[in-house]
Structure 1
Amino acid sequence: MNTIIKTLIIFFISIISAYAQNNISGYILDESNKPLEFANVILHSATSKEIVTGVISFESGFYKIENVENGNYYLEISVLGFKLKRSDAFLIENNSKTFDFNLAEDVLDEIVITHKRPVISKRPRN
């Protein structure tokens, strides 16, 4: 009887530890392969397009999304000063995935600021 209980406990612990052990990780780099820190890495559901979760890359450009449930997803990467990058849809099914991204700079040619001065009229005081 004691052996059956121990076997069941070990079985359930192994099932619980195996559930949602899917991870997505990789590096965010610029065009010259320098790491991009503080990049937004957003995980979207491929079917509903809703945001599932997100993380920010470390100083090394490394990111890791842990405990992802099985399903179809895509990643969206954004960093200020770089073009938005979106991955193709992929399937997570009891496995981990690695995706590295190289982002292209998004440089503006010029910025023009226009402003009109307000009209100020002076009236004599009484």
Structure 2
Amino acid sequence: MTIEQVMDVLGALCLVGGAVFALAAALGLVRFPGPLTRMHAATKPAVFGLLLVLAGVSLTLRDPKVITLLTVAVIMQVMTAPVSGHLVSRTAHRTGQWDEERIGIDQLADDQAAADDADDPVS
């Protein structure tokens, strides 16, 4: 078995693994009950699935130009997914669209109360 064949097999395995993670993320978006759990499904497995798919494509094609472009896509995805998940969770919290009964500790409410006290000119 040559090195090209090994890389093709590894690329195919990465593509299948990435597709499985993308499917898990899609099912999580449909099945999970609240925005916080959906945010988790939209960020973690979706990003990892995309990373596996891009790794599979780079292993299969083995072109430096393609690998460079896929590296940029990976960097952008890794930088933007946590930010979008954070914004979704804060928006859900501020608009009251999250399940307060299932959350044990609400640290964001404490932080917001402290910020409101600091902004109050009377105290």
Larger radius of gyration: 1
Q: Which has the higher strand share?
A: 1
The TM-score normalised by the length of structure 2 is 0.26
The TM-score normalised by the length of structure 1 is 0.26
